[in-house]
Amino acid sequence: MFTGIIEELGRVRSVEALGENARIVIAAHTVTEDTKHGDSIAVNGVCLTALDVQPDSFAADVSRETLERSTIGKLRPGAAVNLERAVTPLTRLGGHIVQGHVDARGKFLSATDLNGSWTVRIAYPSEIARYLVFKGSVSVEGISLTIAALHEDHFEIAVIPKTWEVTNFSHLQAGDDVNLEVDVIAKYVERILQFSK
C-alpha cells in the first residue's frame, strides 16, 4: 500500500524484454536507502517488487498483465518515473490509500501555468467514470491528487509547485498515456451494494 506522495524522481536505466514479460532497471537513490530485496516500490503508480537493490538502482520484473494495463511497457531508458516506497505502520498518510493497481490508462491533455502552479487536464476512459467525484481522490502516475473539476471525458487537477518539481508531470507531453487508479473505497462500496440488492 502507498499514499501517493512521491519520494523521488527516478530514471529508467534499461528495459529488457523477457518473452511476454520484462525486466526494468531504475536509477534511484532515496527509495533504495532502506529497501531490501522483495520490498514494494511504486513506479508511476504501479506496485513492483524491488530486486537486485543497489545504492543507486533497483530492478523489477514486470508481467504481461502489467505491461498491457499500465504505461510501464512504454518506458524507455532515460524516462523520468515517480517513485514511492510502500507505507509502514509509522508512515503519515499524507495522500490517500493507493494500492499500486492501475485501473486504466488516461491521457495527459494539457498543463496550464498559473504563475507557478498548474491546472492539469487528464482524459479518462468511460469505464472508470462512476468512481470519479468532484473533490475526490485519484492517483495519476502514482501521485495522490484531488479532482478540482470533473467533465464527461476528462478531469482537472490543481498542481502545486512542489508536486510539479518532484514528479514527472513536467516531463509529460500532450497525448502521453498516464496510469490512473481510482479510490479503492469507491470500488468496495459498489461491490457491497451489488450484494445488498
**Which CATH number belongs to the domain containing residue 28 in this structure?**
2.40.30.20
What residue has cell string 467514470? 129
Output the pLDDT for position 95.
Answer: 86
Does 21 share its domain with 71?
yes
Does 148 share its domain with 188?
yes
Residue 2 lies in a domain: no
Residues 6+ apart with CB under 8 A from 8: 28, 29, 30, 31, 83, 166
Does 61 share its domain with 125?
no
Range of the domain at 56: 8-85
For residue 152, give the 3-state DSSP assignment. coil
Tell me the C-alpha to C-alpha distance, in Å, between residue 115 and each of 3, 64, 158.
Answer: 28, 42, 12
Tally of domains in the chain: 2
Residue 148 lies in a domain: yes
pTM: 0.93
d(Cα 124, Cα 194) in Å, to the nearest integer?
Answer: 24
Per-residue tens of pLDDT for the chain, all 197 residues = 999 999 999 999 999 999 999 999 999 999 999 999 999 999 999 999 999 999 999 999 999 999 999 999 999 999 999 999 999 888 888 889 899 999 999 999 999 999 989 999 999 999 999 999 999 999 999 999 999 999 999 999 999 999 999 999 999 999 999 999 999 999 999 899 988 86
